[in-house]
Amino acid sequence: MIVVDDGSTDLTRRVLSPLIGRIRYLLTPYGGVSCARNTGIAACRSDWIAFLDSDDVWHPEKLVHQSLCVSATSMCACFCVCTDDSGQPLNPQLQTSGIRVHEAGDVSVTRDEAHPFIQSLLCHRSVFTDCGMFDESLSVAEDTLMFSRIAMTCGFVFLSEPLVTIERTRDAAGLSDSAGPHAAFRRYDCYRRVQEEIIGRAGSADTQTAATARRRAAYFASRQAELACALGMKRQAKSLARHSQSLGAHGRDRIRNGWIRHGWPLAKRHYQRKWPHITEAAPTSPPITRAIAESR
């Protein structure tokens, strides 16, 4: 077992000290969840890898049942059902009886609102050679991106057994919880970029999946435009609104985009009231990708 302590400020090292020698403890400067997972993958000497976040729980039989599943199907990746603290499944639409094999290239599974959790993944290390490592530029949605890459590149088997408990009760805000406008802007940027990669991967081979991802990307771009508007970033707000339109935004997203593009003073005042400024680091965003328009 490898424990990656990603620059924590609690008593992790002291709590684990009696186990040093039985586990591998890696202390790193804070780099985020993707960096921590990549550090663990790089340090791993075994052929099979599984992930467990610090506040979640594996059931005792998880690895045994998943090992039997991959042996029976010859697949290199296996996910299972996750439940919340009360025992309710977090991805009920994925529940079936027994096992379900998804061959490589099937990105249609990314159309589901909830995908399998990384905490339920058991995979061969070749998955990361074929799919790449976790994207460290993403503060959230890195799991969505990895799942889509696995589905497209390697395929996976889904084991319909609740073998992981995901902790949903928090004393402090998690990565996806911060309500500040800067943090929300960065969060929507991650969501949008992931959906744009799915558009590119689906392409003309799966037009329905591409259309679903395009609709989601349009929504996230429009929400980014709203946040940029609240933060007084006029050029970026209008650019994101135009990008959302190019992705085929409709309904409320289309109205929001039009208001930001053509009614700037009023839109700015409205969204500044909706998103009161909180002292945070200013948002940054890579250039908007327009190459995905080729798949439309």
Q: Is the pLDDT of residue 290 over 50?
A: no
Q: How confident is the model at residue 109 (pLDDT cuts 50, 70, 90)?
A: confident
At 27 the pLDDT is 93
- Indicate the fold that domain 46-165 takes in CATH: Spore Coat Polysaccharide Biosynthesis Protein SpsA; Chain A (3.90.550)
Which of 146, 131, 134, 166 is CA-nearest to residue 53?
Answer: 166
- 288 has a pLDDT exceeding 60: no
Residue type for position 151: A
pTM for the predicted model, two decimal places: 0.88
State which amino acid sits at residue 13.
R
Residue 24 scores a pLDDT above 90 = yes
**Under the phi-then-psi rule, with left for phi > 0, alpha for psi from -120 to 50, and beta for the rest, what region is 206?**
beta
Q: Which of 2, 3, 5, 1 is nearest to 27 (CA)?
A: 5
Task: Answer for the pair 204, 295: CB distance below 8 angstroms, yes or no.
Answer: yes
Q: Sign of dihedral through CA atoms 127, 119, 147, 144? A: negative
Give the residue from 184, 140, 177 showing the smallest Cα distance to 275.
184
Q: Where are the domains of the chain?
A: 46-165, 181-295
Q: In this structure, what token pair is assigned to residue 208?
A: 């329905």
